[in-house]
Chain A
Amino acid sequence: MISPATRVTEGGARGLSYLHRIWEREWFSAYRFLLLPIALLALIKVYPFAYNFFLSVTDGGFQDEVSFAGVEHFRELIDDRTIRNATFNTFYLTALVVPIGTAVSLFVAVVVNDRFRGRAGVRLGFVLPMVTSVVVGAMVWDLIYLPRGGLLNTILASHGTDWLQTPDLAMPAVALVILWSSIGLNLLVFLAALQDISPDLLGAAEIDGATRFQQFQHVTLPGIRHSLLFVVATLTITVFRSFGVIYVLTQGGPVQRTNTLVWESYLNAFGYLRFNRAAALSVVMVVIILIITVVYFRMLRSVD
C-alpha cells in the first residue's frame, strides 16, 4: 500500500516530492480513507433520506414529469381511515411488545447474571431466536399457530383456534413472535450493564439486610437506568419497523387488524405503485421515530 508518489520521489523530482507531502498530510490522508466509505453512505443513506422528502411533496419524480404537490399527500393521509387504523395498530403492537419485552428481558438478565449451572444454556435459549431470520422465525410460528395440528393448539388442547385469522387474536399472535425474536438482544444489553454494577454495593446492601427485591430496586435498577431507557427506545423502534413477521403471517389482515404503518407504506409503494404517497408515509414514520429518539435523549439527561 505504498503510495505511488513515494517511489518516484527517490528520483528527486521536486514537484512530485511536493505532491507526496500533500498526499501524506493528515487532512489529505483522511479524505483518502473516507472517499469510498463516505461516497457509499451518501448514496445509500443520505441521498434516499433527502429524496424521500422530495417525493413526499411532489407528484411523480421517478420515471416521469414532476409537479409540486405541497402537503397534499399528508392531508390525504390524515383523512384516510386506513392510515388512522394503521397508526392505531402500530401503537397497539408497541403497547403489547415493549412493556413485556423489557420486563422479561430485564428479569431474565438479573437471574442469569448470577452464576449457576446451566446459565450459558439458558442465555443461548433466548439468544438463538435473535440470530434466526425473521422469515424463518415467522414461518415456524405460522406452523405452530395452525388451527388444525398446530403445536400451540395441541399444547393448549384448544382444537381449531385460528390464531392468525381471528381478528382479536391476530395482533397478540404477531406480538408474541416479535417478543420471541427480540428478547435475546435486550437480554444481552442488560447483561452488559449488570456487569458494571459493583458487587461490593450489592454485598453491602445484602449485609444491611436488604432483600433480593430491595437490592434490585435500590442498587441494580438505578445502576442500569441508561440501558433501561436504551432498551425501551430501541425496542419501540424495532416494533415500528417490524415488516417480515407481518408479511409472512398476516399481510395486514384479518380485516386490517394487523395493518401497521410499515406494512401500509410497503403496500402503497410496491402494491399500488403510489410511491409519493408511500414516501409521505415514510416521512411520517421518520418524524415519529425522531420524536421517540428526542424523548429518549431528554430522559437520558434527566436521569443523570
Chain B
Amino acid sequence: MAHDADPDLPHRRHPRFTPMTLVRLAVALLAFMWAVPLGWMGLMSITPDAEIFSSGILPSEVSLAHYRSAWTDIHMLGLLANSAIVSIAAIAGQVFLAAMAGYAFARLRFPGRNLIFGVLLITMMVPFEVLVIPLFLAIQKIPLLGGNDLFGNGGIGAVNSHFGLMLPNLITVYGVFLFRQMFLGFPRELEEASIVDGASRARFFWSILFPNAKPVVITMGMLAFMWSWNDFLWPLIIARDSDMFTVQIGLSSFNEQYGTRWGPLMAGSVLATVPVIGAFLLAQRWILGSFLRSGLKG
C-alpha cells in the first residue's frame, strides 16, 4: 500500500487504528460534552413540565407548549424586535464607520495620525466593563433627550431608549483595526489611477475599495451582530421598562421572576440562540479565515 501523496496531509499514515485514534476519540468525547448544554437546552424546551425534573434523559412526548408560553408569557416577539433593532444599527455602524476610519488610517497621511491611532489602540485594551459607570452617567446627561434640558439636566437622557441601547455598539476599535489591515494590503496603484481619472476619494472608497473588502465586511458584520445580540451588561443598565428589554434582558428577568419555569425559559433561550448560531454557520468560512489571520494573532 502506497503512502498518500496529498501535500495537505503531511503526517497522515495508513488509516489504521493508532494511539492517535484514541486521542481523537477522547477529544471527540470532550467536544460532545461541550455540546451537551446546548442539546440539553433544546431537549428541555420540548419536554413537558412534569418530566423536566425526572431522572430520565429523553421526554416521553414532544411538547411545543413551552414555545407557546415563551411567546405569550415572556413576550419573545417584542424582545426579539428590540434586539434586532439594536443589532442592525450595530452592524451598520461597525461596518461602515469602521471601514471609513480604517481607510483613513491605512491610506491617508494627515497631522496627528499616529497619535490618534495610538490612543485608539490603548482604549482597545480597556474592557467595556470598567467604562460602564461613567458611560451610563454621561448618557443620562445627553442634552434634549429623555426630558433633559439644553444642559443635560432634569431628565434621563438616552437611558431607556433604543438610541441609548445602540450607542456603545455603533463602532469598535477592533473593527477599525481590522479594516485598516485589510486596506493596507490593497494595491495603491488602483487608488492613484482612479484619483487621476478625476474620481473623488469618497467615490473611490465607496465604489472600489469598500466592495473589495467583502471578507472583512462579512466578518465584522457577523461579529457586530454577535456582540450586540448577546450583549448583557449594557442593556441591563440602560433598559428600564420591559418594552425596551432586549432578548437577553427579557430572559434573565423572567428567570429572576419565575425561577422555576424552566420550560418556557429554555424555549425562549432556543429562540434567542438560533439567530446567532445560524448567522455564525453562514459566515463561518469568512470568520475562520480573515478574523483570525488578520487581526487576532499574537
Residues of A whose CB lies within 8 Å of any CB of B are 1-3, 6, 24, 26-27, 29-34, 36-38, 40-41, 43-49, 51-52, 55, 62, 104, 107-108, 111-112, 114-116, 118, 121-129, 131-137, 139-144, 146, 148-149, 151, 154, 180, 183, 188-189, 191-193, 199-200, 202-203, 206, 212, 226-231, 233, 237, 240-241, 243-244, 247-248, 262, 265-266, 269-270, 275, 278-279, 282-283, 285-286, 289-290, 293, 300
B276 adjacent to A34 (CB under 8 Å)? no
Closest chain-B Cβ to A83's Cβ sits at a distance in Å of 15
Chain B residues with Cβ below 8 Å from A226 are 297-298
Which of A40, A45, A149 touches B54 (beta carbons < 8 Å)?
A149
Interface string of B158-181 (1 = CB under 8 A from A): 000000000110110100100000
A128–B265 CA distance with the chains assembled, in angstroms: 19
* C-alpha gap A31/B105 in the complex (Å): 10
Please, how many residues of chain B have a CB less than 8 angstroms from a CB on the other chain?
Answer: 96
Please pick, from A37, A142, A143, the residue contacting B176 in the complex, using a CB distance under 8 A: A37
Residues of B within 8 A of A132 (CB): 38, 230, 273, 276-277
Tell me whether B11 is interfacial, beta carbon within 8 Å.
yes
Provide a sorted-by-A list of 10 A–B residue pairs whose CB atoms are within 8 angstroms: A1-B202, A2-B203, A37-B101, A44-B131, A111-B27, A131-B226, A133-B229, A140-B41, A143-B41, A230-B298
In the complex, are the beta carbons of A139 and B292 less than 8 A apart?
no
B266 at the interface (CB under 8 A from A): yes
- Give Cα distance in the complex from A140 to B98, angstroms: 35
Chain A residues positioned under 8 Å from B135 (CB to CB): 44, 48
User: What per-residue 1/0 map shows which CB atoms of B44-61 lie under 8 Å from chain A?
Assistant: 100000001111010000
> Contact at B108–A33, with CB atoms within 8 Å?
yes
A218 to chain B, nearest CB (A): 15
A41 CB contacts on chain B under 8 angstroms: 120, 123, 171, 173, 176
What is the predominant secondary structure among interface residues of chain A facing chain B? Answer: helix
Which residues of A are found within 8 Å of B298, using beta-carbon distances?
189, 193, 226-231, 233, 300
| B134 A279 Cβ-Cβ under 8 A | yes
- In the assembled complex, the CB of B124 is this many whole angstroms from the nearest CB of chain A, namely 9
Contact of A30 among B41, B97, B104, B140 (CB under 8 A): B104
**Residue contact A149 to B53, C-beta cutoff 8 Å:** yes
Taking the nearest CB of chain A, how far is it from the CB of B168, in angstroms? 5
Residue in chain B with minimal CB distance to A129? B34
Shortest 10 CB-CB distances between A and B: which pairs?
A230-B298, A149-B53, A125-B31, A199-B10, A133-B230, A192-B292, A37-B101, A30-B110, A30-B108, A27-B110
**A141 to chain B: closest residue by CB:** B37
User: Does B130 lie within 8 Å of A282, measured CB to CB?
Assistant: yes
Assuming A6-B200, A48-B131, A293-B125, is B34 touching A183 (CB within 8 A)? yes
Question: A139 touching B237 by the CB < 8 A rule?
Answer: no
Are A139 and B265 in contact, with the CB atoms below 8 A? yes
Residues in B with CB closer than 8 Å to A127 are 280
Which residues of A sit under 8 angstroms from B202, Cβ to Cβ? 1-3, 29, 32
B20 cross-chain contacts in A, Cβ below 8 A: 114, 212
How far, in whole Å, are A148 and B205 apart by their CA atoms in the complex?
A: 60
A48 to B126, CA, bound (A): 11
**Residues 221-238 of chain B: 1 if any A CB is under 8 Å from the residue's CB, otherwise 0?**
000001001101100110
A135 touches B37 (CB 8 A): no
> Given the complex, which residues of B lie within 8 Å of A278, measured CB to CB?
133
**In the bound complex, CA of A115 to CA of B123 (Å):** 39
Known A135-B251, A226-B297; 4 more pairs at CB < 8 Å: A44-B167, A55-B134, A243-B233, A265-B129
Shortest beta-carbon distance from B152 to chain A in Å = 11
B8 lies within 8 A of A48 (CB)? no
Least CB distance, B91 to chain A, in whole angstroms: 15
Chain B residue with minimal CB distance to A193? B297
B12 close to chain A: CB less than 8 A: yes
CB <8 Å contact, A143 and B126 = no
* B237 and A131 contact, CB distance less than 8 A: no
Q: Complex: how many Å from CA A140 to CA B39?
A: 10
Please give, as numbers and ranges, the residues of chain B lying within 8 Å of A300 by CB-CB distance.
Answer: 298
B255 at the interface (CB under 8 A from A): yes
Contact for B280 among A104, A131, A183, CB less than 8 A: A131
* B269 CB–A CB distance under 8 Å: yes
Instruction: Knowing A136-B251, A229-B298 are in contact, say whether A143-B262 is a contact too (CB < 8 A).
Output: yes
A275's closest neighbor in chain B, by CB?
Answer: B133
Q: Are B133 and A45 in contact (CB under 8 A)?
A: no
Question: Which A residues are in CB contact (< 8 Å) with B134?
Answer: 47-49, 51-52, 55, 279, 282
